[in-house]
Amino acid sequence: MAIPRPELERPLSRKAIWQGRAAAFLIRLLGLTLRFRVEDRSGLLESDPDHPLIWAFWHNRIMVLPVIYRRYFPSRSGAVLTSPSRDGAVIAATMRCFGAASVRGSSSKRGAAAMLEMEEWVRQGFDLAVTPDGPRGPRYRLAPGLVKVAQRTGAWVFPIRVEYSSAWVFEKAWDRFRIPKPFSRVNVIFEPYQTVDADAEGDRFEAERLKLEQILNPDHETD
């Protein structure tokens, strides 16, 4: 699958590319065994919007998002925000195998540049995928960057919640990363898309941030 706007892609090391290909192979293989159950509260499956979306989901549920992306929204294209670290490079290489580009940056590295790149992607009509508690956490805490991009571009925020009936949990990882076990059930909830008040500042901005966090985070406070 060709990625959109390849001229914007930053070079990746050979090691990252091969690791990404291996990860993509394993994700596809695992995906064949999983039983997906989708609750589409957004209505987007019935009427695919001609409007950029900012996909928002927690960092520890990222494992199955490439499968969801290609299975339920094959006609959409865009970029994933990944950190500029070596792990971020592997994620970028993995997503290339699923036809998604990448924007490399985080709050501590290339933050301003990544913000501008994300805004440009949206203005060109492409989607963005963001884990708003990544890359370092706190877990299930929505960072303000997603709200800012939505404000500046008018993109709709598309909250996605994912739950596994059975999963391996990396207890020592900051996000308690999860990998669904083969043949387990994956419950996917597409929440209604959200718009963000373009003029919100101060307390109103915090209210917008908290609204999105609560949509993504109704049950995760203690897990």
Query: 60-93 b/e with 16+ CB inside 10 Å = b?
Result: bbbbbbbbbbbebbeebbbbbbbbbeeebbbbbb
- Asked whether residue 98 is domain-assigned, the answer is yes
- Asked whether residue 1 is domain-assigned, the answer is no
Answer whether 200's CB lies under 8 Å from 208's CB: yes
CATH number at residue 206: 3.40.1130.10
- Asked whether residue 69 is domain-assigned, the answer is yes
In this predicted structure, what is the pLDDT of residue 218?
Answer: 77
- Asked whether residue 5 is domain-assigned, the answer is no
pTM: 0.91
Q: Tokens standing for 220?
A: 């995760």
Burial degree of 180 (CB within 10 A; 0-12, 13-18, 19+): buried
Cα–Cα dist 99/76, whole Å: 10
Q: How far is CA 85 from the centre of its chain?
A: 17
For all residues of the chain together, what is the average pLDDT?
Answer: 91
In this predicted structure, what is the pLDDT of residue 3?
Answer: 75
In this predicted structure, what is the pLDDT of residue 86?
Answer: 87
- Asked whether residue 4 is domain-assigned, the answer is no
pLDDT tens, residue by residue, 95-114: 999 999 998 876 556 667 78
Share of the chain above pLDDT 90, in %: 74
SS3 of 211, please?
helix
